[in-house]
Amino acid sequence: MGAYILRRLLLMIPTLFGIIAVAFAVVQFAPGGPVEQVIARVTGQGDGAMDRLSGGGGDMGGGQSFDGGGEVSGKYRGAQGLDPEFIADLERQFGFDKPWYERFFGMVWDYARFDFGESYFRDVKVIDLIIEKMPVSVSLGLWLTLISYAISIPLGIRKAVKDGSPFDTWTSAIVIVGYAIPGFLFAVLLVVLFAGGSFFDLFPLRGLTSDNWDQLSWPMKIVDYFWHLTLPLTAMVLSAFATTTLLTKNSFLDEIRKQYVTTARAKGLTERQVLYGHIFRNAMLIIIAGFPGAFISAFFTGSLLIEQIFSLDGLGLLGYESILNRDYPVVFANLFIFSLIGLLVSLISDLTYTWVDPRIDFERRDVA
Q: Is residue 215 part of a domain?
A: yes
Q: How far apart are CA 156 and CA 243, in angstroms?
A: 10
For residue 205, the tally of other CB atoms under 10 A from its CB is 16
Q: Is residue 14 part of a domain?
A: no
Q: Contact at 8 Å (CB) between 248 and 158?
A: no
pTM of the model: 0.71
- For the CA atoms of 176, 178, 241, 322, what is the dihedral angle to 10 degrees? 120
Over residues 155-214, the pLDDT tens digits come to 988 998 888 899 999 999 988 888 888 878 888 888 888 887 677 888 888 888 888 888
Across the range 248-273, mean pLDDT stands at 86
Q: What is the pLDDT of residue 170?
A: 92
Q: Highest-confidence range of 161-170, 272-281, 292-301, 359-368, by mean pLDDT? A: 161-170
Q: How far apart are CA 212 and CA 224, in angstroms?
A: 10
pLDDT-derived band at 362, boundaries 50, 70, 90: low
Q: Please give the full DSSP string across 87-144, using - where no structure is assigned.
A: HHHHHHHHTTTS-HHHHHHHHHHHHHTT---B-TTTSSBHHHHHHHHHHHHHHHHHHH
Q: Is residue 94 part of a domain?
A: no
Q: How far apart are CA 173 and CA 7, in angstroms?
A: 45
Across the range 292-299, mean pLDDT stands at 66
Q: What is the pLDDT of residue 312?
A: 83
Q: Is residue 37 part of a domain?
A: no
% of residues, the chain, pLDDT over 90: 8
Over residues 203-239, the pLDDT tens digits come to 888 888 888 888 888 889 899 899 988 988 888 887 7
Nearest to 303 by CA among 183, 150, 126, 190: 183
Q: What is the pLDDT of residue 235?
A: 86
Q: Is residue 300 part of a domain?
A: yes
For 302, the domain range is: 128-356
Q: What is the pLDDT of residue 269?
A: 83
Number of domains in the chain: 1
201 CB-side CA count, 13 A: 3
Q: What is the pLDDT of residue 314?
A: 82
Residues 6+ apart with CB under 8 A from 14: none
Check which CATH number belongs to the domain holding 163 and give it. Answer: 1.10.3720.10
Q: Contact at 8 Å (CB) between 253 and 162?
A: no
Per the prediction, the chain carries an average pLDDT of: 78
Look at 43 and 254; give whichever has higher pLDDT.
Answer: 254
Q: Is residue 292 part of a domain?
A: yes
pLDDT-derived band at 76, boundaries 50, 70, 90: low
Q: Is residue 70 part of a domain?
A: no
Residue 309 has pLDDT above 90, yes or no: no
Q: Is residue 11 part of a domain?
A: no
